[in-house]
A = this chain, B = another copy of it.
Amino acid sequence: MDAMQKRSSTIQDVARRAGVGVGTVSRVLNDHPNVTQATREQVLRVIADLGYRPKSAAVTLRTRQTREIGLITDEIATTPFAFDLIRGAQDEAWAHQSILVLINTSGNLDLLNAALDQMYDRQVRGVLYAAMFHQPVNLPERFRELPAVLVDCYSEDRSLPSVVPNEIQGGQDAVATLLQHGHRRIGFINYTTDQPAVVGRLEGYRRALAAAGVAYDPTLVRQADIAPEAVYRTTIQLMQQPDRPTALFCFNDRTAMWAYDALRDLALRVPEEVAVIGFDNQELLAANLRPPLTTMQLPHYEMGRWAVHHLIAGNPQPSPTAPQVQLDCPLVWRASV
């Protein structure tokens, strides 16, 4: 390894070759105005010749700041969302000449603390903490000791800035879409917990109905575990009741997938006889179902961007008034409505 690491040139080398002082080189490096055009060009030429690049370790040591942003994830692993979030964060970080440093904690508190240690040691500009799904979280106090933004989660006490999906808007727009297509009896297969997505999407459902002057019918709203049989059975029940729904709003794309199964067994065609709309926009599922599923997209990419932007531009401080931003879930049009 050492063999190949030909000692790269330093600012001294550049200064010498260019016949100037290191201070001057440093100035052109940092776009300081006090350099004549001539010397600047001269220095730039030598830099190019030598292929010189400043060592970030030296810069950090001197300036006490890095161009790194920590991304700590909590077992976000199994979902394809993770990478969208990472991409969004990276794209924004890159726009600020910064780079992502990644740690997945697997939901392990010791690892989380170790991750924070790392972030300190490296003097990152700040830290993102991303959860696997929209939820409240309880983070160690130490999180308040450096700039931090929560993604797809929020601290119980609301003292840290966070960005999450707008579940209500998502639910409302989904149902409004169904309404616009003439549906009046809209079934809703929700999930059983009380997580924000469940509560928010239901609220959106009600608001859309209310806005359209359609009465809320509790027999149309069911809760089912996210499991094949549970959803299958619920769908069958829903569709076999008198005055059956003509459209289905599903808690997420997996739910919709199993509802598809039930509808097929019921010989009900999508979308001709029953319209279906999902949530999440898990490409792998939604785009590959038959017919392709119309669904609401979770704004992971945008949340990643927002979080990094806020970290860099928002100078986030822990405080009771930390912003809690909700990003819209846009409709992704396919063929199930």
Contacts and interface: CB of A to CB of B under 8 A. Distances in A.
Interface of A: 1, 3-5, 8, 53-58, 60-61, 66, 68, 71, 76-80, 82-84, 86-87, 90, 99-104, 117-118, 120-123, 145-147, 228, 232, 254, 257-258, 261, 264, 282-285, 288, 290, 315, 317
Nearest to A316: B1
Contacts of A55: 61, 121, 123
Given A71-B102, A76-B83, A284-B285, 14 more contacts: A4-B317, A53-B120, A54-B121, A57-B123, A77-B83, A77-B87, A87-B104, A99-B102, A99-B122, A100-B101, A228-B290, A258-B288, A284-B284, A285-B285
Contact of A56 (B1, B122, B282): B122
B78 A257 contact: no
A71 B147 CA distance: 25
A254 B4 contact: no
A313 to B, nearest CB: 11
A149 to B, nearest CB: 13
Contacts of A57: 56-58, 60-61, 66, 122-123
A194 B60 CA distance: 48
Q: Copy number of this protein in the oligomer?
A: 2
Nearest to A89: B102
A104 B93 CA distance: 12
B90 A99 contact: no
11 contacts: A8-B120, A55-B61, A56-B122, A56-B123, A57-B57, A61-B61, A78-B80, A78-B83, A82-B82, A86-B102, A285-B285
A319 to B, nearest CB: 11
Contact of A103 (B99, B103, B104): B99
Contacts of A87: 77, 104
Contacts of A283: 78
A27 to B, nearest CB: 19
B84 A77 contact: yes
Nearest to A317: B4
B282 A53 contact: no
A270 B82 CA distance: 33
Contacts of A79: 80, 83
Contact of A315 (B1, B90, B122): B1
